[in-house]
Amino acid sequence: MVKEISTDAIWELLKAIPDPEIPAVSIVDLGIVRNVEFDDDQFKITITPTYNGCPAFSFMKEEIIRRLELVGIANFKVSTSLAPPWTTDWMSDEVKSKLKEAGIAPPSSKVKCPQCDSNKAEVISEFGSTACKAMYKCLECLEPFHHFKQI
């Protein structure tokens, strides 16, 4: 079979899939899609989970399959790899600023309030509404906010 679609085109399709829990960023932005290659007449897409217990992960896999089938691509396989383990170091500065715009403090060892940029913030809980976020409170503007945990 002739490869009619480029791997770049697959990347573009994947970039359009938002993270189900943080729709401001895509699954590519977050580094969940690790690799796309064309081999043996097949697109091989490798994804990695953020957290072991992330309930959104199976949804993401299904969404990838759905979006590719929607545009008529059938010769692909989505597989999961665990190593190297996912890390927030894979996030670009552009992605970090997208998170900040969405009101989520990007992963950092020095947590700053996404509203007023104050670095005076205290932890309310290391466990937020999703596995990847911790809850903080800004001591200057007093707004509560989420921090995307650095792991």
Partner 1 sequence: MTKELLYKYVLALGDDALIIGQRLSQWAYKGPFLEEDIALSNISLDMFGRANLFLEYAATLKGDGATADELAFKRNEREFCNHILCEQPNGNFADTMVRQFFLDAFNKLFLQKLIESKDEQLSAIAQKSIKETTYHLRHSSKWIIRLGDGTAESHAKVQSAINNLWMFTDELFESNKIDHEMVKQKIGVDCSLIKVEWDKIIDEVLSEATLSRPENSNMLSGGRAGIHTEHLGHLLSDMQYLQRAYPDAKW
As given in the structure block, the two tokens for residue 137 are: 């409170």
Query: Which option in Zn ion, partner 1, none does residue 51 bind, with CB closer than 5 to 8 A by kind?
Result: partner 1
Helix axes 7-15, 56-70, angle to 10 degrees: 130
Task: Give me the least distance between CB of 96 and Zn ion, in Å please.
Answer: 17
Bridge partners, 77 (sequence order)? 44
As given in the structure block, the two tokens for residue 84 are: 């190297």
Query: Which option in partner 1, Zn ion, none does residue 116 bind, with CB closer than 5 to 8 A by kind?
Result: Zn ion
Which residue, 52 or 94, has its beta carbon nearer to partner 1? Answer: 52
Q: What DSSP character marks residue 103?
A: T
Per rule CB under 8 A, is residue 71 in the interface with partner 1?
no
Chain positions 114 to 133 lying near Zn ion, rule: CB under 5 A, are: 115-116, 118
Residue type, 136: Y
Bridge partners, 136 (sequence order)? 123, 145
Residues contributing to the site for Zn ion (CB under 5 A):
113, 115-116, 118, 138, 140-141
